[in-house]
Amino acid sequence: MTIAQGRALVTGGAGFLGSHLCERLLNDGYSVICVDNYYSSTKDNIGHLLDNPRFEVIRHDVTFPLYVEVDEIYHLACPASPIHYQRDPVQTTKTAVHGSINMLGLAKRTGAKILLTSTSEIYGDPLVHPQTEDYWGNVNPIGTRACYDEGKRAAETLFFDYHRQHNLQIKVVRLFNTYGPSMHPHDGRVVSNFIVSALTGKPITIYGEGQQTRSFCYVSDMIDGLIAMMNSGDEVTGPINLGNPGEFTIAELAAEVISQTGVDPGTEYLPLPPDDPTRRQPDITRAKQTLGWEPTIELQAGLAKTIEYFRGVLVR
């Protein structure tokens, strides 16, 4: 019989990253409350967890207060891909700001530790490369990406103000591109887009000339980072970058997907979207030194696992 390690709340728990985190916490012996409104997620991601007696699911929008008793809060709730967060930008900002206020209020009442998954998008189209946590960013505050970029920047502000004003135990991590099984086939992220296009024989869409760069972290590595951050000492607040420092052009990613799927459906080139970052690479020195964390799964190996997942999903 597994002895419960504590009570953890995961907002956005039915999403891509949240569902992996729920599973990991259950495996580690936690009782887990998964909260999600299913705006950009699916119950299928957590279906295999429902029989676990230590797992509870609440359909809830974090822009409204939540009253539960927990020891740790992983605050992931917010649509993370442009296709979702730009569909309703006002609601995206409300989720980032009001959602954080509500979860911080819950942490204040219960005395829980609370972790925010912020994003590399707070660096905008960076003028510093690679990006360190000390860099303040280059963000267009009135652009089409601002609802997410500035929403997360405001969320970070709220976390640190609650820490200073109310002595809350906060943890802030800035996540760089993450990929792996359970990604939604149509969530608009580049890895899933390329794989789905190849497996369905549709042209791979590349914006610009494909020379913009990204760094891709496999989901299990990212979950290890989140757990390490939550378990770090009270003096560790962040922000801390979590991501794989390997830097690839979008054209290189497309070539690797074509190679591993064995399908070349052709390539379609479209103009770059507004404010699309030209270079993105995390400096993870702080994560290595503070958390003893760094990713172990290289892009080629992670893509193989992700492609295998999508082969199974797309034939259903």
Would you state the pLDDT for residue 4? 60
* CATH, residue 170: 3.40.50.720
Enclosing domain of residue 291:
7-179+217-244+281-296
57 burial (CB, 10 Å; 0-12 / 13-18 / 19+) is: middle
148 catalytic? Reply is yes
Say if 153 falls within a structural domain. Answer: yes
Catalytic residue from among 148, 162, 179, 218: 148
C-alpha atoms less than 13 angstroms from C-alpha of 303 in its C-beta half-sphere: 23
Say if 62 falls within a structural domain. Answer: yes
Would you state the pLDDT for residue 108? 98
Residue 82 has pLDDT above 90, yes or no: no
pLDDT tens-digit profile of 125-163?
999 999 999 999 999 999 999 999 999 999 999 999 999
Residue 1 has pLDDT above 50, yes or no: no
Residue 316 has pLDDT above 70, yes or no: no
Token pair listed for 254: 């497309």
Say if 88 falls within a structural domain. Answer: yes
pLDDT tens-digit profile of 198-241?
999 999 999 999 999 999 999 999 999 999 999 999 999 999 99
pLDDT tens-digit profile of 11-56?
999 999 999 999 999 999 999 999 999 988 889 999 999 999 999 9
Average pLDDT over residues 284-290: 98
Strands 248-249 and 178-179: unpaired
Say if 223 falls within a structural domain. Answer: yes
Q: CA-to-CA distance for 139 and 51, rounded, in angstroms?
A: 44
Quote the percentage of the chain above a pLDDT of 90: 88
Residue 234 identity: D
Q: CA-to-CA distance for 108 and 33, rounded, in angstroms?
A: 18
- Position 84 confidence tier, pLDDT thresholds 50, 70, 90: confident
Could you give the number of structural domains in the chain?
A: 1
Question: 3-class secondary structure for 156-214?
Answer: HHHHHHHHHHHCCCEEEEEECCEECCCCCCCCCCHHHHHHHHHHHCCCEEEECCCCCEE
Say if 266 falls within a structural domain. Answer: no
- Position 2 confidence tier, pLDDT thresholds 50, 70, 90: very low
The sign of the CA dihedral 308, 309, 314, 316 is positive
Say if 124 falls within a structural domain. Answer: yes
Say if 86 falls within a structural domain. Answer: yes
209 burial (CB, 10 Å; 0-12 / 13-18 / 19+) is: exposed
Q: CA-to-CA distance for 297 and 189, rounded, in angstroms?
A: 19
Q: CA-to-CA distance for 280 and 79, rounded, in angstroms?
A: 20
Say if 15 falls within a structural domain. Answer: yes
Average of per-residue pLDDT values in the chain: 94
Would you state the pLDDT for residue 112? 98
